[in-house]
């Protein structure tokens, strides 16, 4: 029987030993990043997570979150992976990312790490399953992707 790698242990278990890309040449003051550190990234340098299991985002809570971000800023950083020079892909924090776009902010705090597609799918699934409002179809489709794309059972 194979050892459980991360599913069912929470998001912190997947991020615990994460490598961080510190070679970024950003347009912001985040050039001197440290391993496990957080950088303020230009929001237009981040693309959505193609593995996001949530297909529906309720409009009113997003508007409320956008208002909170306008007033207080982003309290919890998003997590991204580096794609190329000045290009990143969202791993977790889709609601914060979308609300920040709605709020019109130019930069967002982000934890930068190296992650392959399987890790991205695992993190997105774990983060969203722990939320109560992910519907059963979204959970099932996410598990199906893990089985088919990552050969996990």
Catalytic (active-site) positions? 94
Q: At what angle do helices 117-129 and 136-150 cross, to 10 degrees?
A: 160
Task: Specify whether the CB–CB gap between 73 and 107 falls below 8 A.
Answer: no
Question: Coil, helix or strand for 114?
Answer: coil
Burial of 132 (0-12, 13-18, 19+ CB in 10 A): exposed
């Amino acid at each position: 029987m194979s050892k459980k790698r991360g599913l069912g242990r929470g998001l912190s278990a997947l991020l615990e030993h994460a490598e961080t890309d510190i070679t970024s040449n950003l347009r912001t003051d985040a050039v001197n990043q440290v391993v496990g550190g957080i950088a303020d990234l230009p929001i237009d340098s981040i693309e959505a997570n193609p593995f996001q299991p949530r297909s529906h985002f309720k409009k009113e809570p997003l508007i409320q979150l956008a208002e909170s971000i306008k007033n207080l800023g982003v309290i919890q950083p998003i997590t991204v992976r580096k794609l190329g020079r000045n290009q990143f892909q969202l791993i977790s924090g889709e609601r914060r990312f979308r609300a920040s776009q709605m709020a019109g902010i130019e930069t967002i705090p982000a934890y930068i790490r190296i992650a392959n597609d399987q890790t991205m799918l695992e993190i997105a699934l774990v983060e969203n399953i722990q939320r109560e409002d992910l519907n059963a179809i979204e959970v099932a489709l996410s598990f199906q992707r893990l089985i088919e794309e990552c050969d996990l059972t």
